[in-house]
Chains A and B, each alone.
Chain A
Amino acid sequence: MKNKWLISFLVVSMLVFLAGCGKSSSGTSGGESSVLNGGAGDKATELSYWTFVELHGQHFEKMLEKWNAANPDRQIKLNVTVMPYDDMHNKLSIAVQTGVGAPDIADIELGKFPDFLAGEPQLEPLNDVAEPFKGTVVQSQLDLYAKEGKIYGLSTHVGATVAFYNTEILDEAGVDYKSIVTWDDFKKAGIQVYEKTGKYMGTADTSAIWQASLLLAQQESDLTDADGKPQVNSPEMVRAMTMLKDLQDNNVISTIAGGQPDTEEAYGEYNSGNYAAAFMPLWQMSRYTNYMKDLSGKISIAPLPVLEKGMHRSYGGGGTGTVVTKTAKDIQLAKDFIAYAKLSLDANIEIWNTLGFDPINMSVWDMKEVTHNPENQFVKYFVNNPFDVLNEIKEEINLIKSTSASPTINNVLCTVTLNEIFEDGKDVQQALDDAQTQIEQELK
């Protein structure tokens, strides 16, 4: 008898679930997939778009509305799918290579981009749609996603790396971040912060290479040589890592949960005020506004410290290239749309407004009404205006090359080498030599 009762209970509960599905499956977002209408009519072409950053979808939503209003005969519905970083790139890689199941449009992160350019790229060249915007956007950002003169991805931002300081902690320790010019200054300030507050000034990153890259860029060096071959044990890299290790030994920086500032564990740590500074590309701003709400009104942005006075104070870090796949339903439409959504002046203004990124159309950087709009959430959140800093370092934004060796270099450094140096205290030179050997072996 008991079983009969149970079965009927189960049947009823299942029916309830099913009823629930009918309602919720129609308009889904946050959950991962959603069809953006953007005021499109019935005749609109539906394009699919994969990304690994939910916010990118929001930007596309805005641009979609404008596009549909401006192009009544070429309207688009966008089916957005957000997937975790690794999964999205893996699935996309398989899909474009097999020609099955690929979306029309996709975001590919800079670190993974070379994998998609290997051999015969299964992506559409975008030169024709990018051409009209040449001269208005930073050329190096277009070149970043190109191979043999063909542009395959449209960049989202410059990613100028800056320093984010928690002024509350610094004030408590009696440190003025404006006086920090070199890493030596930073070290002195950090020692003071640790002594006064017991808190760390910054992080020793173990799962990302922002710090390594920015220190190489300051020395006009790179992770790869002129031929694109790895050189992770270069004297410049050794100098960079030795400097960071020294900071760690002096309790200026410390490893963080998650391994770098751009992880959920680290958001928690920062939000709780356990670390006073982060050196991250400008897009980290959106992480502050989204995930570190308690720090509102406490974070100042400043140029990076340098090894020696006069060195360039920034580098363009990270990035996402939006691509059109070879199997896209309506290639020309997809290409025109992403050019509009990523390269047009409107798009660049929205990229700042919605995403808090430093747009690749640098004329936006000078548009006071846009960059200093008091209603903008980023302007409200930060102590000083990011564009005041950006314009100051405008000419100093170096780049780290992205080559076919980059994904492997990235993987070895982020899973093995940086952990060995900062978690295990392995000798810097030794760790980097081992990394070089490992990378060469894997690339064979």
Chain B
Amino acid sequence: MIKNFLYSQKVAPYVFVLPFVLVFIIFWVYPLLSSFGMSFQKVTLGQEASFIGADNYTKLMGDTIFFKAVRNSAVYMILTLLILIPFPMLFAVLINSKAMWGREFFKSSFFFPALTSVVVAGTIFRLMFGEMEGSLINSLLGVFGVEPVKFLKGQTTGFVALVALASWRWMGVNMLYFLYGLKNIPDDYYEAASIDGASAFQRFTRITIPLLKPTTIYVLTISIYAGLAMFIESMMLWNGNNSPKNIGLTIVGYLYRQGIEKNNLGYAAAVGIVLLIITMVINLTQLALSGMFKKEEE
């Protein structure tokens, strides 16, 4: 009986998707709900939790360090968007042009940094951006007569290092996305445009950019996510979660500080919920604006 039941065509699909349902419920829905619940409690590991209403949220709204973290994450996200979308797109178009020598070689070497672990890459960049005269970046600046810069102690210079790290790791990957998108644009379009006398620039703005839109939206979505959830990059660059004046503190960093370092789980959960809301709002707005939902319905 049971065997027949399990083997029926009606039941089989549920058996197939069961692992996902289990993982989804145990490792996503449950933690998400418990996180939501925790955010209204005072929780300390190993001790009884007590309900404290919206106290965590009211405290959060008056927490200047939290706002510093939000600002840092937002600025980081915006900077990575400004750099990691237009440039990879441009490079992809250039590298894709028929006049390119050694295309495969460049593709691989651009992609290569993505293979390194954040731990390794972050450490390398921390040392490169060291404040000593002999540290890589400062020694290069020295060639031009620039005094050594204390990169990791200043807000702006710290972000230069942070964004440099992100650009280094993700430039090649994003370029690949755009190359992939370019493959799907038929050559006829360009030929037709050329015949009509369109310049290279016009072809880029009138054909390439509009037709790359789905790829751009995809890259945008994952970049927003990655930008807002960034933490380890900062942790490795400052060799810990405590950067001078919290210049490198991110939302997730603050969640980690409150939850793990200060054992203040309820408060940290509130930070997480706020992050979730921010990410969802931005991404859904972005997707709505770019008309993604309409397309899904078609």
Which positions in A face B, CB cutoff 8 Å?
86, 90, 93-94, 97-99, 115, 119, 122, 206-207, 255, 257, 259, 265, 268-269, 411, 414-416, 419-420, 423, 438, 441-442, 444
Instruction: Please tell me if the beta carbons of A86 and B244 are within 8 angstroms of each other in the complex.
Output: no
B62 at the interface (CB under 8 A from A): yes
The answer to whether B242 and A414 have CB atoms under 8 Å apart is: yes
CB of B130 within 8 A of CB of A86, answer no
Cβ-neighbour of A411 out of B44, B46, B63, B242 (below 8 A)? B242
Interface residues of chain A: helix, strand, loop or mixed (majority) = helix
Chain B residues with CB under 8 A of A90: 260-261
Q: In the complex, which of the residues B44, B47, B244, B260 contacts A259, with contact meaning CB atoms closer than 8 Å? A: B244
Of chain A, the residue at the smallest CB distance from B44 is: A97
Main DSSP-derived SS at the B contact region: loop
Which residues of A sit under 8 angstroms from B244, Cβ to Cβ?
206-207, 259, 415-416, 419, 423
Interchain CA distance A86-B256 in the complex, whole Å: 12
Establish whether residues B261 and A98, one from each chain, have CB atoms under 8 Å apart when the complex forms.
no
**What 15 new A-B contacts, CB under 8 Å, besides A93-B261, A115-B262, A441-B63?**
A94-B263, A98-B46, A206-B244, A255-B150, A257-B131, A257-B132, A259-B244, A265-B131, A411-B242, A415-B244, A415-B245, A416-B245, A416-B246, A420-B245, A441-B64
Which residues of B are in contact with A by a Cβ distance under 8 Å? 44-47, 59, 62-65, 130-132, 150, 153-154, 240-246, 260-263
C-alpha gap A130/B116 in the complex (Å): 50
Contact residues in A for B45 (Cβ distance below 8 Å): 94, 97-98
Total A-B contacts with CB atoms under 8 angstroms apart: 63
Known: A86-B240, A265-B131, A444-B59. Contact between A419 and B153, CB under 8 A? yes
B41 to chain A, nearest CB (A): 16
Closest 10 CB pairs of A and B: A97-B46, A419-B244, A97-B45, A257-B131, A98-B46, A415-B242, A419-B245, A98-B45, A416-B245, A86-B240
With a cutoff of 8 Å between Cβ atoms, the chain A residues found around residue B64 in the complex are 438, 441
Residue from A86, A423, A441, A444 in contact with B153 in the complex, judged by beta carbons closer than 8 Å: A423
**Distance A269 CA – B242 CA, assembled complex (angstroms):** 22
Complex contacts, A257 vs chain B, CB 8 Å: 130-132, 150
In contact, A93 and B241 (Cβ under 8 angstroms) = no
Q: A206–B243 Cα gap in the complex (Å)?
A: 11
**A206 to B47 alpha-carbon distance, docked (Å):** 36
Query: CA of A161 to CA of B44 in the docked complex: distance in angstroms?
Result: 37
The answer to whether B243 touches A415 (Cβ under 8 A) is yes
Give B158 Cβ to nearest chain A Cβ, in Å.
12
Cα-based distance from A119 to B65 in the complex (angstroms): 26
CB <8 Å contact, A94 and B260: yes
A99, A206, A419: which contacts B46 (Cβ < 8 A)? A99
List of A residues within 8 angstroms of B130 by Cβ: 257, 265
A415-B246 in contact given A97-B46, A265-B132 (Cβ < 8 Å): yes
Which residue of B is nearest A264, CB measured?
B239
Which residues of A have CB within 8 Å of B243?
415
A-B contacts, 23 listed (Cβ < 8 Å): A90-B261, A93-B261, A94-B260, A94-B263, A97-B47, A98-B45, A98-B46, A115-B262, A206-B153, A255-B150, A257-B130, A257-B132, A259-B244, A265-B130, A265-B131, A411-B242, A414-B242, A415-B243, A415-B245, A419-B244, A423-B150, A441-B63, A441-B64
